[in-house]
Amino acid sequence: MSYREYTVLYITRTGKSIAEATVRTQITYPESIAYFCRHCGEVWFRVCFVSPDTVWRVASAVCDKHEGGPYDYITIPGCLMEDDFLHATELREAFWPVTLEYAPLEILKREFLLTAAVKLGA
């Protein structure tokens, strides 16, 4: 199998890219991810493969402007790697390298701070 290399951008709701990763994968049609807030309907984050072959997947997740609702008790608003995603069975291969294996330090720090704020009550 041959590998392809993609640039992945991590884009906020304002359209600003806050981090970049280089992903090396066998995937031919990589899936970019649009994070859709299930409370306000806003697309609040995008993990975007820079490729004409990319297709978009919508991830339903609570944005950082909301505390979630009664069905969101295990979620952390604004997290890209929320628990639902990590345990979902329908995720395709493309999601994992972006969120876990290739996530740049800026994104890991962001995830840590969001998680720590909730877990420590900060």
Of 51 and 64, which has the nearer Cβ to Zn ion? 64
81-to-26, 33, 68 alpha-carbon distances in Å = 22, 12, 16
What is the chain's Cα-based Rg? 14
Closest separation in Å from C-beta 38 to Zn ion: 8
Closest separation in Å from C-beta 61 to Zn ion: 9
Of 30 and 77, which has the nearer Cβ to Zn ion? 77
Closest separation in Å from C-beta 79 to Zn ion: 13
Of 23 and 61, which has the nearer Cβ to Zn ion? 61
DSSP class of 18: E
3-to-25, 28, 58, 87 alpha-carbon distances in Å = 5, 9, 25, 26
Closest separation in Å from C-beta 41 to Zn ion: 7
Residues near Zn ion (CB under 5 A) are 37, 39-40, 63, 65-66
Of 51 and 84, which has the nearer Cβ to Zn ion? 84
